[in-house]
Every structure is written in structure tokens, then in C-alpha cells.
């Protein structure tokens, strides 16, 4: 990589050498290509002006916490997008695994405990539960991956159906043992401490432990994407499956593994979500995949396939969360939030296409 300062100087010289008409076009191009970042900046400035406590350590802690919570799903779904696919089942898988974590880790003496004969909640059982829910997520991912890889079905079809099937299982699960669809509450203190225990405080706001877990997870995913044969195969299949096949890449196995890994990530996200929501309701995780997909596209994991970086996903999640922290502080109502989310996704895709079309 070239020195960024030299790069910048070269760009400035190139810009000076342009004709006035080209100059204007270059400026407009730059503004449009960075529209979402500029918009974010405007929101931040506007929010800071309207709500002075937006620029506090507390809201930084809030932002970091939210990024840590939304990152795992985006990291998982990123792989599916690299394969020019998508995963619509992510949110529901997270809901199911959150419910399962909650049920397995309820307080021993809780009156409405769903299953009575569970082991006592200690660190070992918490870790075991985490592995169980990750395995469950991976299993659903494996089913997705199998149908996508074996029959070359579009992931849209496969994951839409697993999304609905998973929701059915969630509803069935919530009606077990006379629970009657009630949210799962009474989570054990050890579980809450393990996931959401305070690491340190920024201002008056606690930074929970899962922020540290998210850092570890990001490092792990970076390693998988960049340093393993599997990661390289994933990009090869994403940019051109035929060519990858000819050069000896096992397309079937790679596709299966990408979806399985994504499923495992949703499982982990569910394990965190159980604590975050306090009590798990049947509609937990609804539409969560939209946020994750939007974050990936904003971060440059393109739908053209075969391109994307972990750092981009982290950036995308940060941008999206910063926008939503600002909007929440402004008190924008939830109906408008949905409109804004939709517009952000469309805008991010248009920007993504523009990058490829406007290239000369």
C-alpha cells in the first residue's frame, strides 16, 4: 500500500490538472459516493446541537455496546453476501437461539421455570449452553447451505422458507409446558453477569463484557476470511463460481461452510440477545437481518459478489448504529425509523452499483 499522504497529494495534483467541467463532476461524484457518510455527519452535528448530552462518554459507551451486539450477525451474513447470496433467516434463528439460551439458563428457583430438571447454572453450564445454541444456529445454517449448494437454489428462496419454519418452531417452543407464548424471563444472574456484566464504565454508562467478546469474534472472523484456504475459496466462489470450480475449489463444501458459519454466528448473537432483551419474547430478532444486510452493504460487502472486508463490515455496523443512536436521541418514532431503514438500504445498494458503473 502506498503512503496515504502521498496518495492524497497525487489526488490533489490530478484534481488541479482537470478542466473546470471535470472538476465539478469529480466533486459531485465524491459527494454522491459518500452520501451516507455525509448524511451521518449531518445527523451527528444536528443531534449534538439539539441534545448536548449526545457528545458524552455515556453515548460513546452506548454506541460501542450496540455495535458489539449487532456485529456478530453482520459478520455472519457478510459471508453469504460475498457468495452473492443473502440470508433472510438470520433474525429468526437469533430469536430461536435467544429463547433456547433463556430457557436453559433460567433461575433455578424461578416460579415460571419452563423446564425443571436442568443442571444448576454455573460457568460450565453457561459455556455448554453457548455451544448448544451455536450448534443449533450452525445446524440451521447447514440446512440452508445444503439446499443452496446442492441444488443451486437461490438463497433467497431457501432462507425465506427456513425463516418461516424457524418462526414456527419458535412459536411451538414458546407454548411448551404450559408457557402459552409468555416471554421467557427470570434469567439467572450468573448468565446475565457472564454476558452483560460491567467491564468498566465510560462516564456513567457501563460497558458490558460482550464488547470484549465481539472484539475476539471480529479478530477470529478476520483470520478466517483472510488467512485460511476456506476464506480464499469463499472469495473465489463469490466472484466466479465456474472459474473457482475449474481451478479445483470445492464449491459445494465452501457454500455449505459459509452458511454454517453464518448460522453459528446467529446462534452466538442469540446467546447475547437473551441477556440484552432481559426477557425473550417470541418476536425477538424480527427483521434483524435487514440491519445486518444494510450494514454489510454500507461497509462495501457488495452484492456483485467476491468483494468485502471485515473492516468494512465493522465500519458499516458503526455507521448504521451511529445513525440510529442519533435518531433515538432525537426521539424519532419507530414508524419513521422503518422508512429511514428502507431508504438507507436502497441508497446503499444504489451507491454500491454506482461504484461499479461510474468506473471508467
Partner 1 sequence: MDNQTPEKPKLRGLYRNVNISVKVLDLVILACVAVIVLAVFFGQGSGYTVTFDSRGGSDVAPVTAQYGELLDMPQPPQREGYVFTGWYRDSACMEPWDFAADTLQADMTLYAGWNPAQDEG
Question: Which chain residues interact with partner 1 by CB under 8 A?
Answer: 32, 35, 39, 43, 51, 53, 58-59, 84, 86, 112, 183, 185-186, 238-239, 278-279, 302-306, 327-337, 339-340, 343-344, 346-347, 350-354, 356-359
In this complex, which beta carbon is closest to partner 1, that of residue 219 or of residue 350?
Answer: 350
Minimum distance between the CB of residue 10 and partner 1, rounded to whole angstroms?
20
CA–CA separation, 88 vs 74, rounded Å?
Answer: 12
Minimum distance between the CB of residue 136 and partner 1, rounded to whole angstroms?
26
In this structure, what DSSP letter does residue 18 have?
S
Minimum distance between the CB of residue 275 and partner 1, rounded to whole angstroms?
12
In this complex, which beta carbon is closest to partner 1, that of residue 59 or of residue 255?
Answer: 59
In this complex, which beta carbon is closest to partner 1, that of residue 235 or of residue 268?
Answer: 235
In this complex, which beta carbon is closest to partner 1, that of residue 92 or of residue 276?
Answer: 276
List residues bridging with 280 in a β-sheet: 184
CB crowding 158-190: b at 16 or more within 10 Å, else e: bbebbbeebbebbeebbeeeebeeebbebbbeb
Minimum distance between the CB of residue 32 and partner 1, rounded to whole angstroms?
6
CA–CA separation, 50 vs 326, rounded Å?
Answer: 10
In this complex, which beta carbon is closest to partner 1, that of residue 13 or of residue 333?
Answer: 333
> Would you say 268 and 96 are in contact if contact means Cβ atoms under 8 Å apart?
no
Residues whose CB falls within 8 Å of the CB of residue 227, separated by 6 or more in sequence, listed in order: none
Minimum distance between the CB of residue 227 and partner 1, rounded to whole angstroms?
21
Strands 198-202 and 205-208: antiparallel
DSSP H or E stretch at residue 202: strand 198-202
CA–CA separation, 228 vs 245, rounded Å?
Answer: 18
Three-state SS for 239? helix
Q: How far apart are the first and last CA of the chain?
A: 22
DSSP H or E stretch at residue 37: helix 35-50
Q: For residue 230, with 0-12 CB atoms within 10 Å meaning exposed, 13-18 middle and 19 or more buried, which class applies?
A: middle
| Alpha carbons within 13 A on the beta-carbon side of 342 | 6
In this complex, which beta carbon is closest to partner 1, that of residue 248 or of residue 331?
Answer: 331
For 151, the grid coordinates are: 441444488
In this complex, which beta carbon is closest to partner 1, that of residue 32 or of residue 220?
Answer: 32
In this complex, which beta carbon is closest to partner 1, that of residue 13 or of residue 109?
Answer: 109
In this complex, which beta carbon is closest to partner 1, that of residue 49 or of residue 350?
Answer: 350
DSSP 74-106: HHHHHHHHHTT---SSHHHHHHHHHHHHHHHTB
Minimum distance between the CB of residue 133 and partner 1, rounded to whole angstroms?
22
Minimum distance between the CB of residue 153 and partner 1, rounded to whole angstroms?
15
> Would you say 113 and 106 are in contact if contact means Cβ atoms under 8 Å apart?
yes
Minimum distance between the CB of residue 36 and partner 1, rounded to whole angstroms?
9
Minimum distance between the CB of residue 276 and partner 1, rounded to whole angstroms?
12
Minimum distance between the CB of residue 220 and partner 1, rounded to whole angstroms?
26
In this complex, which beta carbon is closest to partner 1, that of residue 15 or of residue 338?
Answer: 338
CA–CA separation, 269 vs 129, rounded Å?
Answer: 13
Amino acid at each position: 500500500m502506498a503512503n496515504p499522504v502521498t496518495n492524497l497529494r497525487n489526488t490533489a495534483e490530478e484534481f488541479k490538472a482537470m478542466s473546470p467541467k471535470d472538476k465539478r463532476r469529480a466533486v459531485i461524484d465524491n459527494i454522491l459516493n459518500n452520501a451516507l457518510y455525509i448524511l451521518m455527519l449531518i445527523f451527528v452535528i444536528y443531534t449534538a446541537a439539539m441534545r448536548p448530552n449526545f457528545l458524552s462518554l455515556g453515548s460513546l459507551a452506548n454506541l460501542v455496546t450496540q455495535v458489539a451486539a449487532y456485529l456478530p450477525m453482520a459478520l455472519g451474513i457478510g459471508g453469504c453476501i460475498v457468495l452473492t447470496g443473502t440470508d433472510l433467516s438470520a433474525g429468526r434463528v437469533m430469536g430461536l437461539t435467544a429463547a433456547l439460551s433463556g430457557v436453559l439458563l433460567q433461575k433455578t428457583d424461578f416460579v415460571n421455570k419452563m423446564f425443571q430438571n436442568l443442571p444448576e447454572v454455573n460457568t460450565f453450564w453457561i459455556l455448554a449452553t453457548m455451544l448448544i445454541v451455536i450448534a443449533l444456529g450452525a445446524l440451521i445454517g447447514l440446512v440452508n447451505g445444503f439446499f443452496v449448494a446442492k441444488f443451486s437454489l437461490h438463497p433467497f428462496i431457501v432462507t425465506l422458507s427456513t425463516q418461516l419454519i424457524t418462526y414456527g418452531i419458535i412459536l411451538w417452543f414458546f407454548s411448551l409446558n404450559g408457557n402459552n407464548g409468555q416471554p421467557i424471563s427470570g434469567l439467572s444472574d450468573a448468565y446475565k453477569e457472564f454476558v452483560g456484566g460491567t467491564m468498566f464504565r465510560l462516564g456513567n454508562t457501563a460497558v458490558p463484557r460482550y464488547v470484549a467478546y465481539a472484539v475476539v469474534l471480529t479478530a477470529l472472523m478476520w483470520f478466517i476470511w483472510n488467512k485460511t484456504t476456506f476464506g480464499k475459496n469463499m472469495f473465489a466462489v463469490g466472484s466466479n463460481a465456474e472459474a473457482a470450480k475449474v481451478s479445483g475449489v470445492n464449491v459445494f463444501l465452501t457454500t455449505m461452510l459459509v452458511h454454517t458459519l453464518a448460522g453459528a454466528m446467529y446462534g452466538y448473537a442469540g446467546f447475547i440477545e437473551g441477556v440484552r432483551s432481559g426477557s425473550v419474547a417470541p418476536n425477538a430478532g424480527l427483521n434483524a437481518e435487514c440491519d445486518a444486510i444494510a450494514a454489510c452493504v454500507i461497509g462495501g460487502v457488495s452484492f456483485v459478489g467476491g468483494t468485502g472486508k471485515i473492516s468494512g463490515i465493522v465500519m458499516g455496523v458503526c455507521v448504521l448504529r451511529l445513525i440510529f443512536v442519533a435518531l433515538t436521541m432525537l426521539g424519532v418514532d419507530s414508524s419513521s425509523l422503518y422508512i429511514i431503514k428502507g431508504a438507507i438500504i436502497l441508497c446503499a445498494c444504489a451507491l454500491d452499483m454506482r461504484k461499479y458503473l461510474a468506473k471508467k
